[in-house]
Structure 1
Amino acid sequence: MKFLSVLPLVLVASFAVATAQHPQSNLSFEVASIRPGADADAEMIAIRMNAERSMIHYVNVSLRDMIRVAYNIKEFQVTGPDWIRNRFNIEAKYPAGATEDQVPEMLQSLLRDRFKLQFHNETKDHAVFALVVGKNGPKLKPSEVKATDYPDSPNRKPGTPVRGDLQIMGSPTGMHLKGPALTLSRLCETLSMFVDQPVVDRTGLPERYDIDLTFMPENMRMRGGPGGPGQGADGGTEAQPRITLFEAIQDLGLKLEPRKAPLQMLIVDHIEKAPTEN
């Protein structure tokens, strides 16, 4: 089983872009260590974004993803120079009195101060897939994973899944998406990785749900899956499952519909390739 590049994120993203005309946040991390991560073109790497009660722990996180979290937008809403794909490892401590909910504000300050980020916003019509409720209603059960189930919580039992943490695993049988207490907005963000246009949440369902999906992306079907075709007991090639993402999502009582939607885009005008020194 191979872990693919995925960003388990405990923050909920929306489509409201913070504009350059809004007052800049003065809230900053008390201290932040930023060091180079894996190569931007690496295919099989561990990527993690954890925001805890007192610190963030980011592993192999790209500048694009830091921008996306800082301004509560999706990856496809960020455009800029090629080096926004550069990856970094970040350990940053909140100042006294700050909370996890203020991580985006602190990331804005970090990007502005350490990477000299400058940007503007544009609104463009974009082809999307809308995640909507199927005709027979959703087949989702609200998660029972509590907000206290974070890595640094003294009440968290060993081995308990982390709330809002999504794993993607690849094998010859397809992609397996699994995570506890996910918002459907978070799920849509991940589904966008496997189709040719953004996926947006139009379900109107506000709860967090335990998600477990297995499907075969089209590009993997052509390649025979990660690492090549699966091998059968007789050494031959196993038949690949035919279930697509569009079919798998129906098991949740949901469906994907093609639509057009105006999306706000964050256009990076300037950003440094590397941060100022720690």
Structure 2
Amino acid sequence: MRHFASVLFLACAMTHTSAPAQTPSFEVATIKPVDPAPKAGRFMRVEGTHRFVARNYTLRLLIAAAYDLNPRTISGGQGWVDTDKYEIQAVTPGETAPDHDAQMLMLRSLLAERFHLAFHRESKIFAIYEITVAKGGPKLAPSLTPEAPPQTVSVVYPDKMVMPARNATIGDLARVMQRAILDRPVVDRTGLTNRYNFNLEWAPDETQFSGDVPPPEESQSPPLLLAMRQQLGLQMTAVKGPVDTIVIDRAHKPTAN
């Protein structure tokens, strides 16, 4: 990921370890180092009911996923935090597949137990994207099954990206945008609280997906900010604002399996 934005320190908060007491944990997990060269794709998902897999992740990216943050808002740690890549395979407890929030709580426990992660939080001023309702109002279809778990994924095509979202809040959209797509934090200021179904289609540029997805040479799809306005009725504006960040106090390379 790119980490070149400058930030201004605002204030310190209390110190934390990676996972509070009684946080759900994986039943068993293996962590293996992988080739650091960018040869394979990066993904994190549950396969079947109980198999959690994260592939090609650095520790900084794992922390970003576990705590729903943009990787640029995580600082501190030694050089290997950004260079060493890992594959995690774990077994989740229970009779059903865990939802996203439960998966991330288990990942937090893993970071504390196997990477010995400890950190504190600070509020800093960052360049961010702010999502608001565009002129003319939102163009969003309310979900007919809001009790179902949200699904927000990105599908790569040669000439475009497509994000089919189901039962998703705008907060869910903002978290996906800042974790995996954009190079800065994203803040939802729409005031919209419902769950929605939508398809977002756009032509990515070199600032998105950490440069891992090359921009298409030709595309009939609009750039992301225009696609947000045209397809969702949402405005995404570059501004500066306070963001909750994590500062790594301690991290060790993972213990043996």
- For this structure pair, what is the TM-score category when the shorter chain's length is used for normalisation? 0.7 to 0.9
Deviation at 1:108, TM superposition (A): 2.9
State the match for 1:88 in structure 2: 87
**Against the structure 1 CA distance between its residues 227 and 166, is the aligned structure 2 distance closer, same or farther, given a 3 Å change threshold?**
closer
Tell me the residue number matched to 1:78: 74
- 2:192 matched to which residue of 1? 205
Map 1:198-237; keep pairs closer than 5 Å. Answer: 198-219=185-206, 226=214, 229=217
DSSP 3-state at the match of 1:131: strand
* 1:1-278 correspondence to structure 2 within 5 Å: 19-20=15-16, 24-29=20-25, 31-36=27-32, 38-42=34-38, 44-50=40-46, 55=50, 57-60=52-55, 62=57, 63-80=59-76, 81-85=78-82, 86-94=85-93, 102-145=102-145, 147=147, 163-171=150-158, 173-192=159-178, 193-219=180-206, 226=214, 229=217, 239-241=218-220, 243-251=222-230, 252-273=232-253, 275-278=254-257
Identity over aligned residues, as a percent? 26
Supply the AA of the counterpart residue of 1:88: E
Structure 1 residue 164: Cα displacement: 1.6
TM-score, normalised to structure 2's length?
Answer: 0.73
Alignment partner of 2:45: what SS?
A: strand
Residues 77 and 266, structure 1, Cα contact 8 Å, conserved in 2: yes
Residue matched to 1:10: none
1:70, 1:104 within 8 Å by CA — same for their partners in 2?
yes
Output the CA distance in 2 between the equivalents of 1:95 and 1:18. 33
In structure 1, distance between residues paired with 2:118 and 2:228: 38
Aligned-partner Cα distance in 2 for 1:24–1:259: 33
Q: What amino acid does structure 1 have at the position aligned with 2:201?
A: T
For 2:229, give the aligned amino acid: Q
Q: Is the 8 A contact 1:49 1:61 kept in 2?
A: no
Separation of aligned partners in 2, 1:22 and 1:43: 30
Distance 1:93 1:117 in 2: 21
For residues 36 and 21 of structure 1, what CA distance do their matches in structure 2 show?
A: 23
Matched to 1:202, the amino acid is: R
**Worse overlay, 87-96 or 208-217:** 87-96
**What CA deviation, in whole Å up to 9, does each residue of 1:68-101 have, x standing for no partner?**
34434343322244433423222133379xx755
2:206–2:215 CA contact under 8 A, matched in 1: no
Q: After superposition, give the CA deviation of every residue in 1:124-178 in whole Å (9 maximum; x if it has no partner).
A: 11111101101211000122356557xxxxxxxxxxxxx424133131x222222
Using structure 1 for the length normalisation, give the TM-score. Answer: 0.68
Q: 1:38 to 1:177 in 2, by over 3 A?
A: farther
CA distance in 1, matches of 2:197, 2:143: 5
Return the letter of the residue paired with 1:138.
P
Equivalent position SS for 1:188: helix
Amino acid aligned to 1:269: D
Deviations 1:224-256 (Å, cap 9, x if unpaired)? x84874xxxxxxxxx544721111001211111
Q: What is the alpha-carbon root mean square deviation over aligned residues?
A: 3.7
Unpaired runs of 5+ residues, structure 1, are 1-16, 150-162, 230-238
